[in-house]
């Protein structure tokens, strides 16, 4: 095949020229677009300061509330009955029976068991028989005294008669009507009557002393009988308190000696919790102080107790002081050995508490003031009644700080709205924009 070389080169030149023109046109359009983009960007940058100046500073606003800066410490302890009484045998004998078991509710004065009292009954019978004999002796002697007194009265009358006869005979003798022998006889009869009367009176006195002695023996024997009866009563095991049988120590059939424990009875009308406090914590605790107690066994209920006792002696090793807390248990729902969480109520006044982030940099950046317990700071408070949200700087007195919060002693009232954080440092009277996180008063 024959190729026209001239025609080929001519065609190639035309196509190359077309391609060059196309590239130049494309480059021009591109340069034109770049020029427009740079111009727009310059115009946007020139308008940005004005827009920024008109935009409000975004802030988070919170409502001031009162509270306690630090949470009250919680102490753990274990519940225990208000008191536990040991029921012990006071006599020697075999335990015959027990009418209760562990968990039984008992009343004061209720008989819970019986100890063999055969020997005690014998001793009581002997004492009562001896007492009856002594009383009989006293009665017999009293009868004799009555008879002796009657005899004394009769002898007294005879003496009066004999003395009257002797006086009359003496007068007749003086008149010479009778002999001296008759007169002497009458005087002797009067003297004999007087001696008989004195002897009878002495006998009455002796028998009265015998009665007094016998009555003394009666009184002593009555004490013996009372003791025998009391000892016999010890054969009945009687509850001394209202409570619940917590433990059964002995079983029927065992031989008991005086002092042997048979039952343990716990009083659950109140429950006590013993909390161990350190030397630093005990200074704020007082007897009668209110206490809040919660039990893991009853998570939905809180009990209010009081401080009943504060031990005067601390543990020598741990330096902890036992504090006894009592809580009511009228329905006997709380048992022994439950985990208790105790919080002591204090008289700490509630103050306005705000986050430390709310303090302006001029105050929060002053390290010397931060270390002081009370210092001055500045916060921004949302102005009320303004057409647009506006903040004003306010000086406040700061109290203690803890966990990122600070107490406000003065300068801010509960219910006022204040700035917690802002996008940039604020100025007094500046207009702000409230974020979606802001609280409404």
Q: Quick: pLDDT tens for 246-270.
A: 999 999 999 999 999 999 999 999 9
* Average pLDDT of every residue of the chain: 81
Predicted local distance difference test score (pLDDT) of residue 18: 46
Q: Quick: pLDDT tens for 41-73.
A: 444 444 444 444 456 888 899 998 887 766 678
Single pTM value for the model: 0.56
Predicted local distance difference test score (pLDDT) of residue 70: 63
Q: What confidence category does residue 361 fall into, taking pLDDT thresholds of 50, 70 and 90?
A: low
Max mean pLDDT range (94-98, 191-195, 346-350): 94-98
Predicted local distance difference test score (pLDDT) of residue 383: 86
For the chain, give every residue range classified as CATH 2.40.420.20.
Answer: 61-69+350-434
Predicted local distance difference test score (pLDDT) of residue 110: 96
Name every residue whose Cβ is closer than 8 Å to that of residue 264 and which is 6 or more positions away in sequence.
Answer: 84, 85, 86, 87, 245, 246, 247, 249
Say if residues 309 and 287 touch (Cβ distance below 8 Å).
yes
Nearest to 398 by CA among 357, 440, 354, 339: 354
Looking at domain 119-233, which of 3.30.70.100, 1.10.287.620, 2.60.120.10, 2.60.40.420 is its CATH number? 1.10.287.620
Predicted local distance difference test score (pLDDT) of residue 46: 44
Predicted local distance difference test score (pLDDT) of residue 168: 82
Max mean pLDDT range (132-141, 208-217, 319-328): 319-328
pLDDT of residue 38 exceeding 50: no
Give me the helix-helix angle, 180-233 and 118-175, nearest 10°. 170
Q: Quick: pLDDT tens for 149-159.
A: 888 888 888 88
Nearest to 277 by CA among 325, 230, 242, 240: 325
pLDDT of residue 369 exceeding 60: no
pLDDT more than 90, % of the chain: 40
Predicted local distance difference test score (pLDDT) of residue 54: 54
Predicted local distance difference test score (pLDDT) of residue 348: 62
pLDDT of residue 365 exceeding 90: no
For the chain, give every residue range classified as CATH 1.10.287.620.
Answer: 119-233
For the chain, give every residue range classified as CATH 2.40.30.170.
Answer: 267-344
Predicted local distance difference test score (pLDDT) of residue 113: 96
Specify the range with the lowest mean pLDDT, choosing from 1-15, 86-100, 387-401: 1-15
pLDDT of residue 129 exceeding 60: yes
Predicted local distance difference test score (pLDDT) of residue 3: 38
CATH number for the region 61-69+350-434 comes to 2.40.420.20
Predicted local distance difference test score (pLDDT) of residue 305: 93
Name every residue whose Cβ is closer than 8 Å to that of residue 311 and which is 6 or more positions away in sequence.
Answer: 321, 322, 323, 324
The CATH fold of domain 267-344: Elongation Factor Tu (Ef-tu); domain 3 (2.40.30)
Mean pLDDT score, 401-409: 85
Q: What confidence category does residue 183 fall into, taking pLDDT thresholds of 50, 70 and 90?
A: confident
Strand partners of residue 342:
75, 293
**Residue 196 — φ and ψ, nearest 5°?**
-60, -40
Tell which wins on pLDDT, 141 or 273. 273
């Amino acid at each position: 095949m024959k190729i026209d070389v001239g025609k080929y080169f001519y065609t190639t030149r035309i196509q190359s020229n077309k391609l060059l023109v196309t590239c130049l046109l494309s480059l021009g359009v591109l340069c034109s677009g770049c020029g427009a983009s740079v111009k727009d960007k310059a115009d946007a940058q020139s308008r940005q300061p004005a827009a920024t100046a008109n935009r409000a500073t975004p802030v988070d606003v919170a409502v001031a509330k009162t509270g306690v800066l630090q949470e009250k410490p919680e102490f753990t302890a274990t519940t225990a009955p208000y008191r536990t009484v040991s029921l012990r045998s006071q006599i020697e004998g075999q335990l015959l029976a027990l009418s209760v078991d562990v968990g039984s509710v008992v009343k004061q004065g209720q008989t819970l068991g019986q100890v063999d009292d055969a020997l005690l009954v014998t001793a009581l019978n002997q004492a009562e028989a001896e007492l009856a004999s002594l009383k009989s002796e006293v009665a017999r002697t009293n009868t004799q005294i009555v008879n002796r007194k009657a005899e004394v009265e009769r002898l007294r009358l005879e003496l009066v008669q004999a003395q009257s006869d002797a006086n009359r005979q003496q007068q007749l003798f003086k008149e010479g009507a009778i002999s001296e022998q008759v007169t002497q006889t009458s005087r002797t009869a009067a003297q004999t009557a007087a001696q008989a009367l004195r002897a009878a009176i002495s006998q009455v006195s002796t028998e009265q002393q015998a009665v007094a002695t016998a009555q003394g023996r009666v009184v002593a024997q009555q004490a013996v009988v009372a003791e025998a009866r009391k000892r016999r009563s010890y054969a009945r095991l009687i509850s001394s308190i209202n409570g619940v049988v917590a433990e059964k120590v002995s079983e029927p059939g065992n031989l008991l000696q005086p002092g042997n424990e048979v039952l343990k009875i716990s009083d659950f009308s109140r429950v006590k919790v013993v909390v161990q406090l350190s030397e630093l914590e005990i200074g704020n605790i007082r007897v009668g102080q209110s206490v809040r107690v919660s039990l893991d066994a009853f998570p939905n209920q809180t009990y209010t107790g009081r401080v009943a006792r504060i031990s005067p002696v601390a543990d020598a090793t741990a330096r902890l002081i036992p504090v006894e807390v009592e809580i009511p248990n009228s329905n006997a729902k709380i048992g022994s050995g439950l985990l208790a969480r105790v919080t002591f109520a204090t008289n700490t006044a509630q103050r306005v508490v705000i986050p430390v982030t709310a303090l302006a940099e001029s105050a929060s950046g002053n390290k010397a003031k931060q270390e002081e317990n009370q210092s001055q700071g500045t916060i921004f408070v949302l102005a009320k009644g303004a057409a647009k949200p506006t903040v004003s700087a306010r000086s406040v007195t700061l109290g203690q700080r803890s966990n990122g919060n600070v107490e406000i002693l003065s300068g801010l009232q509960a219910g006022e709205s204040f700035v917690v954080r802002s996008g940039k440092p604020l100025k007094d009277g500046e207009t702000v924009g409230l974020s979606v996180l802001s609280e409404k008063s």
